[in-house]
Amino acid sequence: MTTIRLRNTKTRKVEEFVPIDRENVRMYVCGPTVYDRAHLGNARPVIVFDVLYRLLRHVYGAEHVTYVRNFTDVDDKINAEALRRQQAGAPGTIEELIHQRTEETIAWYHADMDALGALRPNHEPRATDYIGQMIGMIEGLIASGHAYARDGHVLFRVRSYKGYGRLSGRSVDDMIAGARVEVAPFKEDPMDFVLWKPSDADLPGWDSPWGRGRPGWHIECSAMSHELLGESFDIHGGGIDLQFPHHENEIAQSACAHPHGDFAKVWMHNEMLMVEGKKMSKSLGNFFTVRDLLDGNWSGGWKVPGEVIRFVFLSTHYSKPMDWTEEKARQAEATLRKWRTMTFRSKPDVSPPIEVVSALSDDMNTHAALTALHRFSRLGNGGALLAGAKLLGLLTPELSDWFRFGEKSVAEDPRIDAIQDIRVMARKRGNYAISDQMRSDLLDAGVAVFDYKDSSTGYFEPDFLARWLVSKAWAAFKAGDREKAQKYVDLAREAGVSVHLEDDGVSAVTGHDEQAAFAYFEKYISLIHERACKILQKGYLK
RNA sequence: GGCGGGUUGGCGGAGAGGUUACGCAGCGGAUUGCAAAUCCGUGAAGACCGGUUCGAUUCCGGUACCCGCCUCCA
């Protein structure tokens, strides 16, 4: 049996993972607050814990793993959005508008995360469906002296739990010292945090022993994990930014409400995502959602396949900050294209290769797993490559949409064949100048040309066209031929690629308009075809 | 101020106290009339200063710089 080792934030050590019950391995991951599209940073824990989920399923059996990821659907940002809609004239009560908003956001989330190849968890509880459990838990905390009610609020008495701060390595006194903690008249201690707060008429609320109100942020995860996974479960995951205060507060609540349970045995935190070396933020203009990337609605302009996003994420260990760059995405795409091409007719091995399983078992070393896949690729072992990739959620049929091979989007055009026939004739007779000129024209038209000893093949592919023209422009620029570089830039623009020639080179070129590419191809292929036929008719081939 | 992460070759990015990371790019070669593609091979590193050691990029201490959290945040 494979031994999985995981870094536990609680102990700061990599430990052997021993499930509480190997018949039912339980994992809880903090999910999104559903007020808007998921941004790229939201995708990191989804992908990281999806790989862990797949690994656990592989080791313990798919039916022996329970994965819970919540939706936070009660939150001030949701309320604000619903209120904004109401004020903009949308019909319905505020509750209905909130419901509408969360419903559509959850649907987006599912669509976007599906596109990244993430499996759906076994349970995706919504906070609003567990209000009763939260109230029950809060009542218990009051009864045992760990919480108190004041002015319609209920607060957790942080000083009553001596383990507070252990997860994040802080002491309560240090935190108060230099910290910006919200001081409120109803707090006994500035560190105390809200379990329940009152709602006025234009906010969603539920009846409770403390009046109409809504839960604080942290209590939902404690209530839902307890309900679905029990007092003790195996793994609790989330972003490192949740370590404090969210997870610290969760532990305090759960430990005090269920003193006989261990709550989560292993805490795992993924590091943050950066964009081109900086934190993603709206003010820096480097903020984008997963959907923006998928749809090409970002600075790169390229429709990034979900599989490419996934690959980029897996190439950095989850415990390190990960920098999203277009360069990485391009490399990932090239690698995936190569792997998909070489495994086009392969069948995956029955079980994943040991190299990949042991890499993942070593604290989820996804990068090492990818290195193993590179090796299988080099060795030409398509079966192992596919089976290993599957464990990472890569090279799966679900994520294959972007990859076109053979008949699907590659244009096989009778004119290409005709030109190639003439070229082969020319080559046989030693008319290399003619043959090579035609080849160069074909390449410029977006036809990938492959010459063999006595034959030649070629096909039109929009993506090839874009890459070819841009690489020609770069080559000319590097050779100091600005005029030629400009010519290729102009051609690329005509072919639907957004590209500019700047002082420091050819600007980032990515997405392209396929319709423009086909129109471009149509225009040039007919010219080349005409010219080729003329050469043949006039007997220039000797 | 407190807590945490990081600094590796042109770029990305791992592991290991002494032996090739790997990928991309580069270079060389095979193949080809020439390209492309493919295959084979290959140079190049460990922020800085000390210490431990026969030997450290890998362990320990310090310095510098970068980043995150401490307020909603994955």
Q: Is the CB of A276 under 7 A from strand B?
A: no
Name the nucleotide nearest A275; use CA and C1': B67
A43 strand B contact, CB < 7 Å = no
CA angle (A181, A157, A166) in 5-degree steps: 75
Query: Protein A76 CA to nucleic acid B72 C1', in Å?
Result: 9
Please give residues of chain A from 96 to 155 whose alpha-adjacent beta carbon (CB) lies under 7 Å from any atom of strand B. Answer: none
> pLDDT at position A211, please?
92
Q: How far apart are CA A416 and CA A422, in angstroms?
A: 10
So what's the pLDDT on residue A510?
Answer: 55
Q: Report how far Cα A327 is from the mean position of its chain's Cα atoms.
A: 16
Which nucleotide's C1' is closest to A273 (Cα)? B74
Cα A172 from Cα A528, distance rounded (Å) = 77
Least confident of A24-28, A274-278, A435-439, A504-508: A504-508
Give the other-Cβ count within 10 Å of A11's Cβ. Answer: 10
Decide if A407 contacts A418 (C-beta within 8 A). Answer: no
- Cβ–Cβ under 8 Å, residues A69 and A33: no
- Which burial class, exposed, middle or buried, applies to A408 when counting CB atoms under 10 A from its CB (0-12, 13-18, 19+)? exposed
Q: Which positions of chain B lie under 7 Å from any protein Cβ?
A: 1-6, 11-15, 21-24, 32-40, 67-74
Rounded to whole angstroms, the distance from the CA of residue A311 to the C1' of nucleotide B12 is: 13
Q: Which nucleotide is nearest to A270 (CA to C1')?
A: B74
Write A365-370 long-range contacts (CB < 8 A, 24+).
Answer: A365/A317, A366/A51, A366/A314, A366/A315, A366/A317, A366/A318, A366/A392, A367/A314, A367/A315, A367/A316, A367/A317, A369/A314, A370/A311, A370/A314, A370/A315
Average pLDDT over residues A234-254: 91
A294-317 mean pLDDT:
88
pLDDT at A109 > cutoff 90: yes
Q: If we measure between CA atoms, which residue out of A386, A401, A323 comes closest to residue A117?
A: A401
**What b/e sequence results for A340-360 when a residue is b if at least 16 CB atoms lie within 10 Å of its CB, and e otherwise?**
bebbeebebbeebbebbbbbb
Per-residue tokens: A170: 């802080």
The token pair that represents A459 in the structure block? 């096909």
For residue A507, is pLDDT > 70?
A: no
A244 touches strand B (CB under 7 A): yes
Contact A364, A51 (CB under 8 A): yes
Q: How many helices (H) and strands (E) does chain A have?
A: 18, 17
What does the pLDDT read at residue A185? 75
- What amino acid is encoded at A56 in this protein? L
pLDDT, one tens digit per residue, over A120-165 is: 999 999 999 999 999 999 999 999 999 999 988 999 999 899 888 8
For residue A267, the model assigns a pLDDT of 93
A5 touches strand B (CB under 7 A): no
Q: Which of A47-61, A83-97, A426-440, A455-469 has the lowest mean pLDDT?
A: A455-469
pLDDT at A445: 92
User: Which tens digits make up the pLDDT trace of A266-291?
Assistant: 999 998 888 877 777 776 667 789 99
Distance, CA of A471 to C1' of B36, in Å = 13
Whole-number CA gyration radius for chain A: 29
pLDDT grade, residue A407 (50/70/90)? very low
Please report where in the chains the tokens 């329940």 appear, as a residue. Answer: A196
Note whether A352 and A387 are within 8 A (CB).
yes
- Burial (Cβ within 10 Å: 0-12, 13-18, ≥19) of residue A24: middle
Q: Is pLDDT at A473 greater than 50 in this prediction?
A: yes
At residue A118 the predicted structure's pLDDT band, cuts being 50, 70 and 90, is: very high
| Strand partners for A8 | A13
Is the pLDDT assigned to residue A225 strictly greater than 90? yes
Query: Quick one: DSSP state of residue A29?
Result: E
- What percentage of chain A exceeds 70 in pLDDT? 93
pTM score of the predicted model: 0.88
Nearest nucleotide relative to A45: CA against C1':
B74
What's the CA gap between A220 and A244, in Å, rounded?
A: 16
Tell me the average pLDDT across A162-179. 76
Lowest model confidence (mean pLDDT) among A114-128, A192-206, A245-259, A507-521: A507-521
* Per-residue confidence (pLDDT) for residue A284, from 0 to 100: 67
Give distance CA A371 / C1' B44 (Å): 21
Alpha-carbon span A115 to A401, nearest angstrom: 10
- Whether the per-residue pLDDT at A103 is higher than 70: the answer is yes
Supply the mean pLDDT for chain A.
Answer: 87
**CA A270, C1' B8: Å apart?**
22
Give the lowest-confidence range in A173-182, A362-371, A501-510: A173-182
